[in-house]
Chain A
């Protein structure tokens, strides 16, 4: 029980740190940094939780992206900052960097079949993230919004 709790805290804190740090690298305005971290932690946590429940990788990515987009939308309206400023850093933990890396590695070592499998996985994960964002836009449409 304690180890589970510790794991959850670890995931939340580390995804928060990673998101804020990426915000620093992409020059996010100071007043948005904290909100960026919260968005990133929320998205990653939902993704991690669903992966722990053994739901594969597509659905967790989709739901994670959906959560990120919705929370970003909330913060964007609250702080009157373009929504993309919260999206970009928060998505970083979800980016399929690990799979992309394995894909390149497989190709270099001559395992082409395996490499193509990883490449398709990268494409499908990117697609799932994009669909998650699209779904969030439907949620955002309900209130008439000025799009800036």
Chain B
């Protein structure tokens, strides 16, 4: 039988389904942690199970935890999800591994192993490059939103500083939304200083450009899409997450206007 040959044929059925569940759930967990859409997570998990010879599998995914049952053996496992970031390369890698498994170029054991190593070390772009990228996002978007060329350099510097703060705080302190708040506060303060020192013209445009690398507009849009696709729980949970991020940014900027302007 296909399933037996893939897993090695020596394990008991219980061990097999346990390993399969573990693999599927690991794939699902990595995808949710990296910011994938829910339907893709469920699809990938079911597909791995199917390709391992399970005819029927049931998955239930939320942004904070995933459940999976294999129909044949009735085995169920749960995984908790504690961190949610955006790392699109991981989504792509899990997808590619799932394809390789479907094409039978790797077996279940290898899939499990490679998912585990993928979870540990997917190279991120170096921090300095991300900070330069943040500078580019800020100044280019500021211009195409109708900003002034005089603000170009100050927006780039402020956007980069804001992202650096965002990154540093996320790395050092494990407090949700604090990084967005502090980054937005820095951006607002620097924009105010820049305008006071006549290094910039429009404080509004500088701040809008500066916070663009932080704005969770995409999670908001994704939340709407999740809801439209019928994943109500995920949509509401992600929408809430996004609203809290927006509020943290808003409060950071608001403090500047309230107390310094």
Contact = CB atoms under 8 A, between A and B. Distances in A.
A14 B213 CA distance: 15
B153 to A, nearest CB: 15
A113 interface: no
B24 to A, nearest CB: 14
Contacts, number: 155
Interface string A69-113: 000000000001110110010011101111011101101110000
Contacts of A147: 39-40, 43
Contacts of B35: 26, 84, 88
A22 interface: yes
Contacts of B98: 148
Given A95-B215, A97-B211, A100-B215, A28 B89 contact: yes
Interface in A14-37: 14-15, 17-18, 20-29, 32
Given A26-B87, A97-B212, A104-B254, A48 B225 contact: no
A121 B126 CA distance: 37
Contact-size category for B:
35 or more
B208 A85 contact: no
Given A21-B133, A88-B86, A44 B91 contact: no
A95 B47 CA distance: 33
A96 B211 CA distance: 12
B125 A24 contact: yes
Interface in A123-137: 126-127, 129-130, 133-134
B10 interface: no
A92 B253 contact: no
A10 interface: yes
A88 B215 CA distance: 12
Contacts of B145: 98
A17 B159 CA distance: 15
B88 A84 contact: yes
A25 B216 CA distance: 13
B165 interface: no
B218 interface: yes
A129 B133 contact: no
Given A21-B137, A81-B92, A97-B215, 14 more contacts: A18-B136, A25-B137, A44-B144, A80-B99, A85-B92, A91-B221, A92-B141, A104-B249, A105-B204, A107-B250, A130-B225, A134-B225, A148-B44, A148-B47
Interface of B: 35-37, 39-40, 43-44, 47, 86-92, 95, 98-99, 122, 124-125, 129-130, 132-134, 136-137, 140-141, 143-145, 163, 204, 207-208, 211-213, 215, 217-218, 220-221, 224-225, 228, 246, 249-250, 253-254, 257-258
26 contacts: A14-B144, A22-B133, A24-B130, A24-B133, A27-B88, A27-B90, A28-B89, A44-B144, A84-B91, A85-B91, A88-B35, A92-B137, A92-B141, A92-B217, A95-B221, A96-B217, A97-B212, A100-B250, A101-B207, A105-B253, A105-B257, A108-B250, A108-B254, A126-B217, A148-B44, A148-B95
> Which 10 pairs between the two chains have the least Cβ-Cβ distance?
A95-B217, A104-B250, A21-B133, A24-B133, A108-B254, A130-B224, A14-B140, A21-B136, A18-B140, A26-B86
